[in-house]
Amino acid sequence: MAVRTHRTQQERSEQTREALLDATIGCLVELGYARTTVQEICLRAGVSRGAQQHHFTTKAELMTAALEHLFARLTRQLREAAVDLPPGPARVTQGIDLLWEAYSGTLSTAAVELWVAARTDPELRETLRPVDRALGHATLELYREAAGVELPEAELETLLLLSVNLVRGLALDAMIGGDAGRRGRLLEEWKATALERYTSASGA
């Protein structure tokens, strides 16, 4: 049986697209949005401008797709990690730890660069807004599935949204050089608060 050694056109196209998205994320994290150019992205990805424009017609479209790409990758990692979460109250606190790990890394840095830039860039704002809403919804659904606890729907959603917004704020604090000890104390305080609300609402 002959072994296929050549990639198909679709495989080459997908590889080019992924290289562009990974290079975009790398540029956002290392250079920031203002210094991230399509030329630099293409250089890092080893892709021509013509090939880039075949996949993404505008810089805003490329930036938005990169954020989606990064979030999808992190979501897969979180789903795998959530399998090992213990049952009961410990699932709540360890789930918050997982959320912090996800939002305090590359996702946070890249997303903040884009959110800030979108404030004064109407084209970027229009493409980013629906994606940002979708990312928030997907995060909520992921943690609703992983929670594995018996809580009223409204209470569970409130706890998840508060957790997401807290870790986003703490991640921004880390980016601007805030005190790591203070962030740790705030995170522990919220975990204790969330656990108390969970215990009260579930009767555990």
Same domain? 118 vs 198: yes
pLDDT (0 to 100) of residue 128: 85
Higher pLDDT, 35 or 136: 35
What is the band of 12 on the pLDDT scale with cuts at 50, 70, 90?
confident
What is the band of 87 on the pLDDT scale with cuts at 50, 70, 90?
confident
pLDDT (0 to 100) of residue 2: 52
Same domain? 53 vs 66: no
Same domain? 43 vs 73: no
Query: What is d(CA 152, CA 141) in angstroms, rounded to the nearest whole number?
Result: 15
pLDDT (0 to 100) of residue 150: 62
**Does 79 map to a domain?**
yes
3-state secondary structure of 119: coil
For residue 95, is pLDDT > 60? yes
**Does 2 map to a domain?**
no
Same domain? 90 vs 187: yes
**Does 148 map to a domain?**
yes
Same domain? 47 vs 114: no
Same domain? 52 vs 27: yes
Q: What's the chain's average pLDDT?
A: 84
127-163 pLDDT, tens digit per residue, is 888 887 877 777 777 666 655 556 677 777 788 888 8
Query: Can you give the residue range of the structural domain that contains 174?
Result: 59-202
The count of structural domains within the chain is 2
**Does 27 map to a domain?**
yes
103-128 pLDDT, tens digit per residue, is 888 888 888 888 889 889 998 898 88
Same domain? 22 vs 86: no
CATH number at residue 17: 1.10.10.60
**Does 90 map to a domain?**
yes
CA distances from 170 to 71, 135, 176, 200 (A): 18, 18, 10, 26
For residue 79, give the nearest of 103, 62, 57, 95 by alpha carbon.
95
Query: What is d(CA 20, CA 9) in angstroms, rounded to the nearest whole number?
Result: 17
pLDDT (0 to 100) of residue 193: 92
Query: For the whole model, what pTM was predicted?
Result: 0.76
